[in-house]
Amino acid sequence: MNIRNFCIIAHIDHGKSTLADRFLEMTHTVEKRKMREQFLDQMDLERERGITIKLQPVRMMYTPEGTDMPYVLNLIDTPGHADFAYEVSRSLLAVEGAVLLVDATQGIQAQTLANYMFAQQCGLTIIPALNKIDLAPQDLETRVMELAQLVGVEMDRVKLISGKTGEGVRNLLETIVAEIPPPTGNASRSSRALIFDSHFDNHKGVIANVRVLDGEFRAHERMVLFQNKKDADIMEVGYFNPTHETSVCLYTGEIGYIATGIKDPGVVRVGDTIVVRRDVDAGRVEPFPGYEEPRPMVFVSCYPSSADDYPHLARSLSKLKLNDAALFYEPEQSLIFGRGFRAGFLGLLHLDVAIERMKREYNIEMMVTTPSVSYQVAGKDGIVRLIYRASDYDMNEQALEIREPWVRLEILAPQRYYGNVLQLVENYRLQLMGVEGFGDGQVIHFEAPLAEIIVNFYDNLKSVSQGYASMSYTFLEYRKGDLERLDILIAGERFDGFSRILPKSKIEREGRAVAAKLKDLLPRENFAVAIQAAVGSRIVARETIPALRKDVTGYLYGGDRSRKMKLWKKQKEGKKRLKELGKVTVEPHIFYEVFK
């Protein structure tokens, strides 16, 4: 069997999903009447936002022109946003080649470079392609030269295509067949399959998306998950065509799925190796190294809106984790909110998508605290511990040293915006490390605190560069910082969900901003509500939400004014008692709105 396994990698919005649509049409994988735009983007959320969130495999049959030899093309469509880079990394380890797609109107972007470098590390055959040539970009030749220089090929090796019109796509298919090598593997060796993704089915249990490395897998065989040593009978095997299509067997080099029948989502892990029981018994098993665990960058605490929903939240997170391997979570307890979870994400878009998926797919509303990063705290005893919540940092311990995570940040921008990008240095505590020329642009290297760039840095970068700049970052190390904990008191009560660890230089500004925003978001009560931003016992900002005022004298007509004064005095005393005893309830969505 002639097999070619490949994926499409690119910066966000460079046309991966549209190119995949043309592949599906030209190989007649999807009937014309069923075809729609972004066909492989199966989630409503992907179609609404116009972005790919999940990697999506599909099996296509293609016979090159002038031959009668059919080929099996296994394509994995990947996301482009940096927050979903882990999806891309898993895809690259399951294939032998990649189409490096670049928008001809925008040229090479930061995520293009990051994906290309990782594909190189995986030893993949890379086919460069310039997309959107139907828009007739004026500097097309320059774009071709830049991409050829990046990949290290002659300019005539760069494919010029239009995913929208289909121009050049058939030639690209022919190149994929000709240049990407067939999969390696030994059909006679013990059977091994690498899990690169998974999801949950109520009837078939955990369904593992796999790349068969050696041997073969058939339904009703006894399988073993190597890491957990969990046995199960294979319920079903098949291909992505693009929906699940049952097959008799999965052979060496193929990409498909294995329905495990396992009902516990926590048992099946992305990166694990599936083997056959008889090979385990014979001692002939060599597991695949798997994947490097993703490093969560952004942390939040999440709680169910009702304490009774905690079991449902726990089950929903375990199922989401199955389909989102980069998600991290563990139980935690809050004095105010009760039982919940600490969850880690690769970025704010990843967090935003996860919250929306929990609401849509599992019908659960979560109360989410303000996003933060993890910090290292060194105690008097020399023990260094990680804290994920600002409320866990005790500022009264003077001997403590707190360190914040720093990242290596690369910004790719046209040369004319270099000065504008440097304006961000002071506001975001960036350290300029160097500049490299790249085509008609520049790659600017910074080191920066992670906390500075996870909230609104990307939006401001796009603003100062008129949308032309792009960025990518990787974790560097933890460094000591001049930091303090900012608390928010509402009616005298501290709400841990609003606490943040910030540089001393930004404490007052951030305190005023949060207090002002809460004044707009919180509903009025029957008593005046004080909103205070505090560092320890020092108040750095204050706003007051005035009490709702009822006209208690409205029903009086004429008479002595002293009657009205008695009613006003009684109302004033009542409000005073309410202020002393009253509590303010903060709705779950307000925590998330404050940081947005």
Residue 111 in any domain: the answer is yes
Residues 38 and 175 in one domain: yes
Task: Report the candidate in 343, 317, 345 with the shortest Cα–Cα distance to residue 330.
Answer: 343
Residue 293 in any domain: the answer is no
Q: Determine the Cα–Cα distance for residues 426 and 422; give it in Å rounded to an integer.
A: 8
Residues 474 and 507 in one domain: no
> Which residue type, as a one-letter code, is found at position 413?
A
**Tokens representing 479?**
């460094």
Residues 475 and 571 in one domain: no
> Which residue type, as a one-letter code, is found at position 4?
R
For residues 38 and 240, is the Cβ–Cβ distance under 8 A?
A: no
Residues 464 and 580 in one domain: no
CA 571 from centroid of its chain's CA atoms: 52
CATH number at residue 489: 3.30.70.2570
Residues 434 and 448 in one domain: yes
Structure confidence at residue 157 (pLDDT)? 92
Alpha helices, DSSP H only, in 165-255?
Answer: 169-179
Q: State the DSSP code for 27.
A: T
Q: Determine the Cα–Cα distance for residues 391 and 498; give it in Å rounded to an integer.
A: 9
**Tokens representing 543?**
């706003």
C-alpha pair distances (Å), 351 with each of 5, 132, 303, 496, 587 = 31, 31, 14, 19, 19
Q: Determine the Cα–Cα distance for residues 118 and 78; give it in Å rounded to an integer.
A: 14
Task: Report the candidate in 454, 469, 477, 455 with the shortest Cα–Cα distance to residue 423.
Answer: 469
Residues 105 and 8 in one domain: yes
**Tokens representing 36?**
């729609």
Burial of 267 (0-12, 13-18, 19+ CB in 10 A): middle
Instruction: Give the CA radius of gyration of the chain.
Output: 28
Alpha helices, DSSP H only, in 3-84?
Answer: 16-26, 44-49
Residues 43 and 149 in one domain: yes
Residues 28 and 145 in one domain: yes
Strand spans (E) along 388-469:
401-414, 431-438, 441-449
Residues 35 and 105 in one domain: yes
Alpha helices, DSSP H only, in 15-109?
Answer: 16-26, 44-49, 85-92
Residue 557 in any domain: the answer is yes
Task: Identify the bridge partners of residue 503 per DSSP, sorted by sequence position.
Answer: 483
What are the backbone dihedrals phi and psi of residue 560, each rounded to the nearest 5 degrees, phi first? -70, 140
What are the backbone dihedrals phi and psi of residue 331, each rounded to the nearest 5 degrees, phi first? -65, 150
Helix (H, G, I), strand (E, B) or coil at 14: coil
Residue 184 in any domain: the answer is no
Number of compact structural domains in the chain: 5
Helix (H, G, I), strand (E, B) or coil at 209: strand
Residues 438 and 544 in one domain: no
Alpha helices, DSSP H only, in 385-506?
Answer: 418-422, 424-427, 450-453, 457-464
CATH number at residue 208: 2.40.30.10
- Domain ranges, residue 347: 298-371
Residues 167 and 218 in one domain: no
Question: Can you tell me which residue has the tokens 């490096």?
Answer: 100
Q: Determine the Cα–Cα distance for residues 484 and 506; give it in Å rounded to an integer.
A: 10
Structure confidence at residue 550 (pLDDT)? 63
For residues 162 and 235, is the Cβ–Cβ distance under 8 A?
A: no
**pLDDT digit of tens for each residue in the chain (596 aa)?**
689 999 999 888 888 888 988 898 899 888 777 777 766 766 666 667 777 777 788 999 998 887 888 999 999 888 877 777 778 888 888 899 999 999 998 888 888 888 888 889 889 999 999 999 998 888 899 899 989 998 989 998 999 999 889 899 999 999 999 999 999 888 888 889 998 888 888 889 999 999 999 989 999 999 998 887 888 999 999 999 888 899 999 999 999 999 999 988 888 888 888 998 887 777 777 777 766 777 888 888 888 888 888 999 999 999 898 888 888 899 988 766 788 999 999 888 888 888 888 988 889 888 887 788 889 888 777 788 888 888 778 766 555 788 999 999 988 888 888 888 888 887 888 899 988 887 667 888 999 999 888 877 877 888 888 777 888 888 899 998 888 889 989 888 888 778 888 888 889 998 999 999 998 888 877 778 888 999 988 899 999 888 766 665 556 666 667 776 776 677 666 666 555 556 777 776 677 677 66
Q: Determine the Cα–Cα distance for residues 279 and 223; give it in Å rounded to an integer.
A: 10
Specify whether the backbone of 498 is left (phi greater than 0), alpha (psi in -120 to 50) or beta: alpha
CATH number at residue 445: 3.30.70.240
CATH number at residue 308: 3.30.70.870
